Each structure stands twice: as C-alpha cells, then as structure tokens.
Amino acid sequence: MRVAVDAMGGDHAPAEIVKGAVLAAGENNLDIALVGPLDIVQAELA
C-alpha cells in the first residue's frame, strides 16, 4: 500500500513525522511518500 504523509504537519515536524514514517514503513510493508520541501525531508532522512 502507498501512503502520502505531510512531512511538515504537526508540532514536531519534520523530525518526528519522518521518524514515524520510516518506522511505519518498516513494520507494515508500506510505501510511504513524504510530502514537503525536498531539501528538508532529505536532511531528516540522512
């Protein structure tokens, strides 16, 4: 299943959103698309 997640939404974004998305993808066989400014999302994934 593919899920889009707003990486910039929430009080502790983007750090906690990205962490949660990575965790959810690994535990649930999901394909997650993080939506937000590419440079910011990539920095969180590094």
Question: How would residue 14 be classed by pLDDT, with cut points 50, 70 and 90?
Answer: very high
pLDDT at 11: 94
Domain parsing of the chain, residue ranges: 2-45
pLDDT at 41: 98
Mean pLDDT across the stretch 23-27? 96
**Rounded to the nearest 10 degrees, how much is the dihedral formed by the CA atoms of 16, 24, 6, 8?**
10
pTM exceeds 0.85, yes or no? yes
- The pLDDT > 70 percentage for the chain reads 100
